[in-house]
Structure 1
Amino acid sequence: MEHLQCDLKCLSRDILADIMARLDGSTLASAACTCSDLRGIARNQRLWKQLCNSTWPSTALDEAQHLISSSTDGFRRFYADSYPLISNDHKDANNYFPIQPTLISPSNFALFIDVYYREKCITSSVLDGIPMETDFGQDDDTTTGLMSWVLNCPFKVVPSDINDEDIEDGDDGHDFVSLVGKADDRCNELKEGIRLSWVLLDKKRGKAGNLSSWKPLSVKKIWASNGDYILHFGCIIPVQESLQLPHNLAKCLIGARCNIEEKQGYLRWKEVSMHIEDTSGAYVNGGKSLIILNQALYCSRSNNRHAVEKGYIQFEGRKQEIIRKKKLEETLADWLCISFEVVILLILGYRILPI
């Protein structure tokens, strides 16, 4: 360590800063722990801003500049919060989450959305406020009624400015369409090639979290359509018992619908949306969804994507179990009704028949 510090002192601060600007986030954080000189350089927000801009190009857009504070710890905290994936390994969410605010407004949040194809960012978008919002604190009866409807209706976010983006064939001669003659091959190509990041930021507290799984959790072809595919991203969020959700779990599901057109040889986005659902498959309403999104920012994080996928598979298993039980109950109820009707008919028939 002394030898390292001696070597570092031989280098100017500008050279050290240039070297550290070439590091990724985890390496930069590790280097900052080695000595005071590197720790001082690592506190430079310019380094973390560059990392954020390269990882999430949406953070470099003009409309994003006022959302992430450039003061103490702004971009470093954004990177630390948003780079690892949200994990659902909390056994007791009631004791883990901080006290919830009494009112959570959609305008408290901002969304940073980035879509990659073959490691190249093809579209980025920033939303200042979740676009289902109506501001709190207004006395107008119409506004109050609309907010009441928004908070109680099924929650869904559809960014309008991320549609109609095209992915043309690459410059490397790798013909996307020629590889995807079969639906299974197309699904595999999409699953391996597409990456999506959906970062939620609490503007007041500076807390952030990536609600996406980066890689698709599933890819399915819509057979009734002409080349349409659905890609599912997302995370599993442990929630407090007060929300009264089955298994105290919620799924943040980000769905991307795209179309592969064989003649033109490109992929076109048709819709990207996000909603929250429980293990019964039901959409969670707007009021509960805002609370769940707020709780997601305080979940544990993991760089192990397989653990995130495992949590998703477990959630889907519980969902199928609830669906099977519901179908069984409905089947038993149908049989009971039929049996009751048969018994009634037999009784009536017996009384009508002459003795």
Structure 2
Amino acid sequence: MISSTAPPSAATATTAEEDSTTSFSSLHPDIIEAHILPRLDGITLAATSCSSTTLRHHSSQDHLWSKTCHSTWPSTRSPRVCQVISTYPDGGPRNFFSHAFPLLEDHSSSNLSRLSSLTPPSELISAVDIHYQDKLIFTKVRETETVTGWFRCSPFRIDLLEPKEVVPTPMKHPDGDDTCTAISNDMTLSWILIDPIRRLVVNLSSHKPITVQRHWLTGEVQVRFASILAADRGHVQCGIVVTCGGSEEGEMQMREISLEIEDMDGMHINGKESLGILQRAMEGKKGKGGNRVQEGQRRYREYLEVKKERKERKVRTEGTLDILCVAFGVSCFVAFWSFILFR
């Protein structure tokens, strides 16, 4: 005789699941919003909001996402950035986080026509945070005017530190490759670029360093973060360089933090063209946040491979032209002397 009741194990699992659901649902909303959800990071909070209608309601509160933005990027506590976040369209702080956290989707130059061709922004806000071993070591907000002729004609560059300004860090001065490896593994950087007029944002950092190099003579360490952006003539590298030098106490000091954009030939792009590239990046779709470090490193490696192939192709072309020029010169020389001797 076959029993119609469920197996004991299945019944136990069902009962446990029902008890778990009932227990969580029976919690007071204030406990969920004040003690549980604020402990989650942005990615977990977003995933939680998709699990049920009730949790979606609790997880959509602006104060939760404002706190998440501030804890993820302390620079967003600045009144100027807070103003942008509070008026950000379609969800305020939550939408700001969804645009500022993930890596950009890779747009080919053929898809750029789909993006807006509005007037470039007249002002940019940079919200920058640097962590080492999960501890904040630097945060700053820099406003940059982009309407002057000097800015638009000069190579695009944003500096966060003054020429003689230094920032102490807990990092030890490198005495070998181990310190450079520690910096590569333990340093993270976020550079959020904001268009305050149109309320557009983009994070231009690879989150973790792409390369960490120590100068053999000066001992300075250059930590490079990068994003690969689409442009009319291919792809360009948006590079963030943190230059660190040793102090008398043996600790590292950050002496330069800068943002530049260069093409595949290594030429720095001027401000006017860079504004167009950055505007399209801010208007473009954002990818998923889970694999941004691996995806950013993959794109950078592909960019270097294309850059290397482009350089080798250029060298071959120049070599072929040199041979043709030499052959043409020899032919002219032989023709000239043949005309002189046999006329």
Instruction: Output the TM-score relative to the length of structure 1.
Output: 0.80
Q: Match for 2:204 among 211, 218, 221?
A: 211
What residue is the counterpart of 1:233 in the other structure? 225
What residue is the counterpart of 2:132 in the other structure? 117
What residue is the counterpart of 2:294 in the other structure? 306
CA contact (8 A) 1:281 1:319 kept: no
Identity of aligned pairs, percent? 28
- Cα offsets for 1:291-314 (capped at 9, x unmatched): 111111213323312222111111
CA contact (8 A) 2:107 2:229 kept: no
What residue is the counterpart of 1:85 in the other structure? 103
Q: Deviation at 1:115?
A: 1.0
Write the distance in 2 (CA, Å) between the matches of 1:93 and 1:237.
12
- Which structure 2 residues correspond to residues 50-89 of structure 1 after superposition, within 5 A? 50-69=67-86, 73-88=91-106
- Cα offsets for 1:268-316 (capped at 9, x unmatched): 1121111222223222222221111111121332331222211111111
Number of residue pairs the alignment of both structures matches: 321
Q: Match for 2:141 among 122, 126, 130?
A: 126
CA contact (8 A) 2:130 2:137 kept: yes
Q: Match for 2:29 among 13, 38, 46?
A: 13
- Cα offsets for 1:118-175 (capped at 9, x unmatched): 11111111123x35x23xxxxxxxxxxx52x532332122223695111135xxxxxx
Write the distance in 2 (CA, Å) between the matches of 1:91 and 1:287.
18
Q: Deviation at 1:87?
A: 3.4
CA contact (8 A) 2:158 2:258 kept: yes
CA contact (8 A) 1:74 1:206 kept: no
- The 1:27–1:330 alpha-carbon spacing in structure 2 relative to 1, beyond 3 Å, is same
- The 1:105–1:26 alpha-carbon spacing in structure 2 relative to 1, beyond 3 Å, is closer
What residue is the counterpart of 2:11 in the other structure? none
What residue is the counterpart of 1:44 in the other structure? 61
What residue is the counterpart of 1:296 in the other structure? 281
Which stretch of structure 1 is more off in the superposition, 210-219 or 306-315? Answer: 306-315
AA matched with 2:175:
G
Q: Deviation at 1:349?
A: 5.7
- The 1:285–1:37 alpha-carbon spacing in structure 2 relative to 1, beyond 3 Å, is same
Instruction: Output the TM-score relative to the length of structure 2.
Output: 0.83
Q: Match for 1:221 among 189, 200, 214?
A: 214
What residue is the counterpart of 2:263 in the other structure? 278
What is the DSSP-based 3-state SS (H/G/I as helix, E as strand, rest coil) of the residue aligned with 2:265? coil
Which stretch of structure 1 is more off in the superposition, 110-119 or 331-340? Answer: 331-340
Write the distance in 2 (CA, Å) between the matches of 1:318 and 1:66.
41
CA contact (8 A) 1:45 1:70 kept: no
Write the distance in 1 (CA, Å) between the matches of 2:328 and 2:108.
47
AA matched with 2:129:
D
- The 1:105–1:99 alpha-carbon spacing in structure 2 relative to 1, beyond 3 Å, is closer
AA matched with 1:181:
D
CA contact (8 A) 2:161 2:255 kept: no
**Higher-Rg member (1/2):** 2
AA matched with 1:104:
P
Q: Deviation at 1:320?
A: 1.2
What residue is the counterpart of 2:8 in the other structure? none
CA contact (8 A) 1:151 1:287 kept: yes
What residue is the counterpart of 2:158 in the other structure? 157
What residue is the counterpart of 2:244 in the other structure? 258
AA matched with 1:186:
T
Write the distance in 2 (CA, Å) between the matches of 1:320 and 1:90.
19
